[in-house]
Amino acid sequence: MLSILHVDMNAFYASCHQAKDSFLKNKPIMVAGDPKKRTGIILTASYEARRYGVKTGMPKWQAEKLCPQGIFIKPEYELYVDTSQRVMNILRNFTPQVEVFSIDEAWLDVSGCEKLFGDSLNIAKKIQCEIYKELDLQCSIGVSSNKLLAKMASDMKKPNAITVLYPEDVPKLLWPLPVDKLFGVGRRMNERFSHMNIKTIGDLAITPKNVLEKAFGLNGTYLHLWANGIDDSRVNPHIADDAKSMGHSITMPADITSFDEAEKVLLFLAEQVGRRVRRENYLGRTVSITLKNNLFDVVTRSNTIFYTNNTEDIYNTAKRLLYSNWDGKMPLRLIGVSLSNLVKEFDQVSLFSEEKKKKKLNMAVDKIKDRFGDDAIFRARLLQDKELNERKLSKAQKMSENKRSRF
């Protein structure tokens, strides 16, 4: 049964800017970091720019030469995260079985949804239409029998396409592809495959399992299964819950090089973690941060505090960890915040009066956001300028008025 979908937003960062500003529609735009940072590389490009040969990771000067009429835009991570949340909310309108894979990708299990929305192909079409209608964004969707094949299918046709991949078509459609096109195969693994004379997915599929296990350990077993289109992993919408921790991380479209920028990211992540923990009625006592620099070195540090689910407590602890483990010199590419050692909230975990005030405030903010949307209320620390402030306030007021008119 083809009940697994993989939704992949097309040229996500660039498309967010085009949806936000109609002037950029159908124009070759390139999202680029500060030329003084990361040596001015292209972080992503619209499909209009890609037609000129512009690619992600290309130096800015080379992109300008290929596409002199291109428009360069600085990244706005808040825009991307906000849009991502809205995309995921649309997906959850079709099924609660949504596993977020990255800021612009998710798997869905639509088993049992046929009576409501039709078969999986019809659901894919409706998802595309709904995302375009609500957000003015396009996506590619893979439809198959498991997560691996759905992911491979969504990569086959872009942009704005739906691809159905049947398991019996794996030898014909997947095996001729270069082995590095297989989901999970990175650059280093591909180099090792080259030494083993494994060039295509088909080569990998017919390599004896014991040979792969000897070379890659347990991963060798999975590689053999994946090359043959076999994947028994389930779509898990509560994957973080299973580990008794809840966290969020974000890979920056441009490296972070100042404490001010890093603090804004930490506050945003702390708010996401706090809101989720409160929604699930948990308290946690270990706050952790993850920092990945532009050399891909990863540092994870934790601090144990009193049981809490308050955004302020999570943020302040995360900020202390940041200042004690980062000197502000090495550019950061990824920041993550998590709360672990979770317990269900219960009366024995008493709160001081000040903590009760924080809890009431956070729950009030949660209720407003749940009812009127994420933009109905926001923290001033996350706003960068007056124009953005006014724009969000206007949007929040309109949303509030629209909501009230329904009651």
- Backbone φ and ψ for 218, nearest 5 degrees, come out as -60, -35
Domains 13-76 and 78-168 agree in fold: no
- Nearest 10 degrees: CA dihedral of 364, 369, 370, 373? 160
Q: In angstroms, rounded to a whole number, what is the distance separating the alpha carbons of residues 162 and 153?
A: 8
Each domain of the chain, given as residue ranges in start order, spans: 13-76, 78-168, 178-227, 239-372
The tens place of each residue's pLDDT in the chain, 407 residues long, gives 899 999 999 999 999 999 999 999 999 999 986 645 545 788 889 999 999 999 988 888 899 999 999 999 988 877 887 898 899 999 999 999 999 887 899 999 999 998 899 999 999 999 999 999 999 999 999 999 999 999 999 999 999 999 999 999 999 999 999 999 999 888 888 999 999 999 999 999 999 999 999 998 878 898 999 999 999 999 988 764 554 689 999 888 788 999 999 999 999 999 999 999 888 888 888 999 999 998 888 999 999 887 788 999 999 999 999 999 999 989 999 999 999 888 765 433 333 334 455 666 666 666 665 655 555 555 555 444 333 344 333 444 444 344 333 33
What confidence score (pLDDT) does residue 101 get? 83
Beta strands in 294-396 (DSSP E): 298-308, 332-340, 343-344
Beta strands in 196-275 (DSSP E): 245-256
In CATH, the number for domain 178-227 is 1.10.150.20
In CATH, the number for domain 13-76 is 3.40.1170.60
Write 42-45 long-range contacts (CB < 8 A, 24+): 43/13, 43/75, 43/253, 43/254, 44/11, 44/12, 44/13, 44/14, 44/253, 45/11, 45/14, 45/70
**CATH class for the domain made up of 239-372:** alpha beta
Architecture of domain 78-168 in this structure: 2-Layer Sandwich (3.30)
Catalytic residues: 105
Q: In angstroms, rounded to a whole number, what is the distance separating the alpha carbons of residues 60 and 380?
A: 33
3-state secondary structure of 248: strand
Number of residues that this document lists for the chain: 407
